[in-house]
Structure 1
Amino acid sequence: MKFLYIICFLFSFHAFSQDEILAKEYFKNGAFEKAQILYKKIHEKNPAHYVFLIQLVKTHQQLEQLEEAQELLENSILKNPALLVELGYNYQLKNDIENANTYYNKAIESVDIDVSAAYYVARAFEEHSLLDQAIITYKKAMLLKPEYNFNVQLARIYGEQGNVEKMFYSYVNFIQSNENYVNTIKRAFSEFISEDKNNPNNIILKKILLKKIQETPDLLFNNLLSWLFLQQKEYYKAFTQEKAIFKRNPESLNRIENVATIAANENQDAIAIEIFEYIVKIAQDPEITLKAENNILQIETKNAAPKDYADLNKKYTTLLETYGKHPGTIDLQVAYAHFLAFNLKDTEQATTFLKESLKLRLTTYQASKVKLELADILVFQEKFNEALIYYTQIQRSLKNSTISQEARFKVAKTSYYKGDFKWAESQLKILKSSTSQLIANDALDLKLLISDNKYEDSTQAALKLYAKADLLAFQNRTQEAISILDKIMEAHKTETIIDQALYKQAQLFESKKQYQKAADNYQQIIKDYKEEILADDALFYLAKLYNDHLAQPEKAKELYEEIIFNYQDSIYFIEARKNYRMLRGDAIN
């Protein structure tokens, strides 16, 4: 008997669920009469269910059966004060504004009797875009019961109304007692601010945070202000805030280190070095000090001219003498080997140095980092087969890891340098689905280069020359790479590889700070190859050149606009739109 009851219950529940799904679908598609029949049936079985009552009321309202809707609401057995809002709205649909306001006021007054109903009353107001009444309801509830925090709801409403200042205040007030949501609120702020420190919204948020810092010693607001400065790329100001946080809470230097790393990635090298030097000065942990000193060296190496190499070599060796050659300094060892090979061109010393590093008691991951650099240096020496051995060892020892996928990509790249395009392509097909988006993108780009050009000429002469230029660029033989690309453009004018050669050469010109030559190449791609795959790349990077180096922001704006209107599927679309709006002086909202 009990089993039969359970079966009947499950069957009726399933039928009920089906009715609800079907009713929703009818309502969504505008079939209000059909939806009404089902909602009546559901409501009769569940007269105490608020949602089904309201859905039934909505069907009457959509069918302009306002008297029936009113009767339903007035005769409901529910005691939910939100029904007062629904009654008021029904009167509003009748254009009886006086009675509508009477019921709206009654709904707000109900909060005085039962403050716990405030959320449902306010949500009912929001459902009907009665935002001012919703604000009054939420505020009244917080006044009556201060432990209630409806600031997020208020912030959302203020955002809909375009009242950015009140929205920011509400979010800030919310996280003052809910710090766990700080990252959520930062994401909300991101929708309204931009990189432009003069954007009115940025200025409003900055003023609010500075005022909060003056009013309360809570470091939360220094944290938020530091975050705002980072969005505006004002790294020194972010550093100032992080120093203030660290002085009062000296537990970790991670946040200061993060600012330095971001600044370095954005090529703000002077600021990055200053922050890393501060870390070196105050850090108590030798591991943190070493990491900061190594980062300083990497920035100096990146910007060094050959005349600086002897001094840099001394700095590397001094650091290694100070900290020793052991597993804890493996990043410094790898960096020094890279400097020896790619800057000093002393590949023999570099490979010997790394082979000695491999004799240390390294973890599998540390050994893989050493082998990856060692293989890169062997490629630099054009010892391709030996390099492939090390790349393959990494793949086998750390399967499916990012470093393993990087090694697989380098296997493909090495095969490509050798002219073994078929094997390279087979490896690149696997990497198209790499978990690392950067590796997947690089793999796809190289695969397209090979597949687009391997059949045009049975000897693959142009593709082999391009691979040679690519290898020369990898070896830091930039001018030789540029000359090879010139040969391709002279000898293979009718082949599809020309736009690739122009693009690669433009990037090399940029690395040599020959910005006008780079711009000329990008312009040629846009003019002659506007239907090809690199057209949006050329538009985007030419726009950046105009804005960042050639002092022609109006031309940059025109190019970003072209991406926005003609290349909506481009990976540069979002960045182009953001940059265009900044150049136009928009307030991001």
Structure 2
Amino acid sequence: MKYIFVVTILLSITIGAQNDAIAKDYYAKGEFEKALAEYKKLYYKSPSNINYINQVVSTYQQLEQYDEAEVFLINILERINYPAFLVELGYNFQLKDDTENAQIYYNKALAKIDDNPNHVFGIARLFQSHSLLDEALTAYSKAKVLNPEFNFNLQMAQIYGEQGNIENMFSCYMDFAASSPVALNNVKRAINNFITEDGDHENNIILRKVLLRKIQENPDLLWNKLLSWLFIQQKDFRKAFAQEKAIFNRGAESLSGLEELAQIAVNDEQEDIALEVYTFLIDTAQDIDTQLAAHHNILLIRTKLGNKDDYPGIQEQYLNILNQYGALPQTLDIQISYAHFLAFYSGQPEEATRTLEQTLELPLNPLQQAKVKLELGDILVLQEQFNKALIYYSQIQRNLKNSTISQEARFKVAKASYYKGDFKWAESQLNILKSSTSQLIANDALELKLIISDNKYEDSTQTALKLYAKADLLTFQNKKEAAIVLLDRIIEEHKTEPIVAQALFKQGQLFEAHSQFEKAVSNYERIRANYREGILMDDALYRLARIYNEQYNEKEKAKLLLEEIIFNHDDSIYFVDARKQYRILRGDAIN
């Protein structure tokens, strides 16, 4: 008997869910008479179900049967103590253009909050759902006065945002962040919908004023952190640096904010301020790891910005740091970086190899050993000693199977095979890496595989592909000018082959690296004109847009190029960023 009872209940629930789905489907299709019939059935089975009551009312209103809705709601109010239905009744009068009675019932609903502040939840929600935003704000404000423990800052911020009352919205978000620190990232995301990268944008100025006022009224570190965050969004890293120093000097235990700021500045190619932040970290940090990381990053920046005349000084700085801290496992990253500098910039691959061989004698764990061997393999590739390089890469694969660094080593095996013209072996390795757990490696593997597979059958001797692989190797060897010359040869001698588009694109990237932007634009425009159906079209458009925006300050041209990505290449990896940059150029407040 008990079993039959349970089955009956389950069957009833299932049928109810099906009827609910049918009603929703009718409503969504605009078949409101059918929807009303179904919702009435559901209501009669569950006459206290708030959702069904609301749906019956809504369907009446869709059918413009306002009198029927009014009678239905009055009967409900006599039977159920749910003051939110007063809002619904008022709204029903509003739909009948009877604003006087509408206001009477809105006021009655608000008065119910005085009787019990907990009524605010249903009342304010219904006001908001009917875009009665002033009434919703009144409801929340009234309830907060009656019960100060209520926190409606988030709801009120959202309403102020809908109304365009930006200052009150920011103030409410700040109050919410102060009361709920764990929700700070959510607050930042919400605010980010209303600010831009332009520090002179009206909304940015309002937020800055709100935060400065908060700092004066209540000098909490939260406001400094948010102000720093605002300056970072505006790419005003120097002002962000000032805030981060103030945060640290006022007793913050962590330097993580400063470390993060420095990395963001590097990523945004504002190396000058990044160097200042890293120098501050060296002077301030008490732990060696933070000091070493800062030293390392300074050396990387100096190498990137330097030229041959700067290299002796950079090498001396490397040696001074290694002498100061010692050639220990703790300085492993700096030792590897020093060897890379010697080989790829200073023209001392033999000295680099000796340095790394000495490093391998340290008590390193398997992962640390793999990092050293990876660099040793790269230096051998630099010297075109491919077979020796493959030995190191293979050792990593054997010793650390299925790890990310093992997959990286496999990719380098494929790249070395590709450099020396063994395309078949390279492709077999790349096929494995397409499913790599590292998305970056998987993407790189797929890109290289497409270069090989799209071009290996065009010429039985694979002449153009071999020339392109050689140009790729020259780029890896930091011989960019020689790579440009070789790519020219491909473009001129293999005009009918698909690899020309790839050569144009790679050469364009190299022109950009040499600040030869006119030549880069010429290459990308050739891709745009002649290879519109190719896989590099969106890449060329995106790079053109960046050059016109960042180098030439031709915003309208940049917008047109970004539009082309948005409307014609919605599957592009650049789609999201293109849309964001387009909205920035148009002057929108964006997320």
Which TM-score band (shorter chain)?
A: over 0.9
| TM-score scaled by length of structure 2 | 0.95
Distance 1:95 1:551 in 2: 53
2:336 maps to 334
1:545 maps to 547
One-letter identity of the residue aligned with 1:213: I
**Greater CA deviation, 451-460 or 567-576?**
567-576
What runs of 5+ residues in structure 1 fail to find an aligned partner? none
**Secondary structure at 1:251 match in 2:** coil
Do the aligned residues in 2 keep the contact of 1:201 with 1:588 (CA within 8 Å)? no
**Greater CA deviation, 213-222 or 460-469?**
213-222
1:457 maps to 459
2:444 maps to 442
One-letter identity of the residue aligned with 2:50: Y
User: 1:174 and 1:463, CA in 2 relative to 1: closer, same or farther beyond 3 A?
Assistant: same
One-letter identity of the residue aligned with 2:14: H
**Secondary structure at 1:95 match in 2:** coil
What are the residue-to-residue correspondences of 1:260-409 with 2, within 5 Å? 260-409=262-411
1:4 maps to 4
What are the residue-to-residue correspondences of 1:51-130 with 2, within 5 Å? 51-76=51-76, 77-130=79-132
One-letter identity of the residue aligned with 2:341: F
1:23 maps to 23
Deviations 1:345-401 (A, max 9, x none): 221221222222223222333222222212211211212223223333333444444
1:257 maps to 259
Distance 1:479 1:557 in 2: 32
One-letter identity of the residue aligned with 1:427: Q
Distance 1:58 1:220 in 2: 44
What are the residue-to-residue correspondences of 1:136-535 with 2, within 5 Å? 136-535=138-537
User: 1:399 and 1:138, CA in 2 relative to 1: closer, same or farther beyond 3 A?
Assistant: farther
1:37 maps to 37
**Greater CA deviation, 574-583 or 153-162?**
574-583
**Greater CA deviation, 474-483 or 437-446?**
437-446
Shift, 1:552, TM fit: 4.0
**Greater CA deviation, 409-418 or 177-186?**
409-418
**Greater CA deviation, 271-280 or 169-178?**
169-178
**Greater CA deviation, 517-526 or 78-87?**
517-526
One-letter identity of the residue aligned with 1:502: L
Do the aligned residues in 2 keep the contact of 1:515 with 1:550 (CA within 8 Å)? no
User: 1:396 and 1:79, CA in 2 relative to 1: closer, same or farther beyond 3 A?
Assistant: farther
Distance 1:396 1:167 in 2: 58
What runs of 5+ residues in structure 2 fail to find an aligned partner? none
Shift, 1:551, TM fit: 4.7
**Secondary structure at 1:85 match in 2:** helix
Shift, 1:328, TM fit: 0.9
Shift, 1:214, TM fit: 1.3
Deviations 1:84-119 (A, max 9, x none): 011111222222221111111111111111101101
Do the aligned residues in 1 keep the contact of 2:296 with 2:334 (CA within 8 Å)? yes
Shift, 1:565, TM fit: 4.0
**Secondary structure at 1:75 match in 2:** helix
Distance 1:160 1:412 in 2: 54
Distance 2:401 2:40 in 1: 59
**Greater CA deviation, 448-457 or 34-43?**
34-43
One-letter identity of the residue aligned with 1:562: E
One-letter identity of the residue aligned with 1:31: E
**Greater CA deviation, 168-177 or 434-443?**
434-443
| TM-score scaled by length of structure 1 | 0.95
**Greater CA deviation, 422-431 or 171-180?**
422-431
Shift, 1:251, TM fit: 0.7
**Secondary structure at 1:295 match in 2:** helix
User: 1:432 and 1:195, CA in 2 relative to 1: closer, same or farther beyond 3 A?
Assistant: farther
**Greater CA deviation, 346-355 or 274-283?**
346-355
Distance 2:114 2:93 in 1: 23
Shift, 1:495, TM fit: 0.9
User: 1:513 and 1:257, CA in 2 relative to 1: closer, same or farther beyond 3 A?
Assistant: same
Do the aligned residues in 2 keep the contact of 1:50 with 1:78 (CA within 8 Å)? no
User: 1:200 and 1:408, CA in 2 relative to 1: closer, same or farther beyond 3 A?
Assistant: farther
Do the aligned residues in 1 keep the contact of 2:192 with 2:590 (CA within 8 Å)? no
Distance 2:95 2:398 in 1: 70
Do the aligned residues in 2 keep the contact of 1:392 with 1:407 (CA within 8 Å)? yes
One-letter identity of the residue aligned with 1:132: D
Shift, 1:588, TM fit: 4.3
User: 1:526 and 1:174, CA in 2 relative to 1: closer, same or farther beyond 3 A?
Assistant: same
One-letter identity of the residue aligned with 1:439: I
User: 1:134 and 1:481, CA in 2 relative to 1: closer, same or farther beyond 3 A?
Assistant: same
One-letter identity of the residue aligned with 1:214: Q
How many matched pairs?
A: 589
Shift, 1:255, TM fit: 0.9
Shift, 1:27, TM fit: 1.9
**Greater CA deviation, 5-14 or 446-455?**
5-14
The sequence identity of aligned pairs, in percent, is 58
Do the aligned residues in 2 keep the contact of 1:88 with 1:102 (CA within 8 Å)? yes
**Secondary structure at 1:361 match in 2:** coil
Deviations 1:383-428 (A, max 9, x none): 2223223333333444444333322322222221121222222332
2:13 maps to 13
Deviations 1:206-255 (A, max 9, x none): 11111111111111111111111111111111111111111112311111
Give the RMSD, CA atoms, in angstroms.
1.9
Do the aligned residues in 1 keep the contact of 2:193 with 2:589 (CA within 8 Å)? no
Deviations 1:21-52 (A, max 9, x none): 22222222223233223322222222222111
Deviations 1:530-563 (A, max 9, x none): 3322222222212322333345444434433433
Distance 1:460 1:413 in 2: 17
**Secondary structure at 1:540 match in 2:** helix
**Greater CA deviation, 428-437 or 531-540?**
428-437
Distance 2:304 2:37 in 1: 73
One-letter identity of the residue aligned with 2:205: I
Do the aligned residues in 2 keep the contact of 1:36 with 1:56 (CA within 8 Å)? yes
Specify which of 134, 137, 140 is matched with residue 135 of structure 1. Answer: 137
Do the aligned residues in 1 keep the contact of 2:196 with 2:588 (CA within 8 Å)? no
Distance 2:575 2:379 in 1: 37
One-letter identity of the residue aligned with 1:385: N
Distance 1:162 1:433 in 2: 47
One-letter identity of the residue aligned with 1:358: L
Do the aligned residues in 2 keep the contact of 1:375 with 1:387 (CA within 8 Å)? yes
Distance 2:395 2:72 in 1: 74
Deviations 1:460-516 (A, max 9, x none): 110010000000110011111111111111211111111111111111122222222
Deviations 1:45-91 (A, max 9, x none): 22222111111222222223323322222122221110101111122
One-letter identity of the residue aligned with 1:112: D
Do the aligned residues in 2 keep the contact of 1:16 with 1:42 (CA within 8 Å)? yes
**Greater CA deviation, 51-60 or 419-428?**
419-428
Distance 2:154 2:347 in 1: 59
Distance 1:424 1:67 in 2: 76
One-letter identity of the residue aligned with 1:563: I
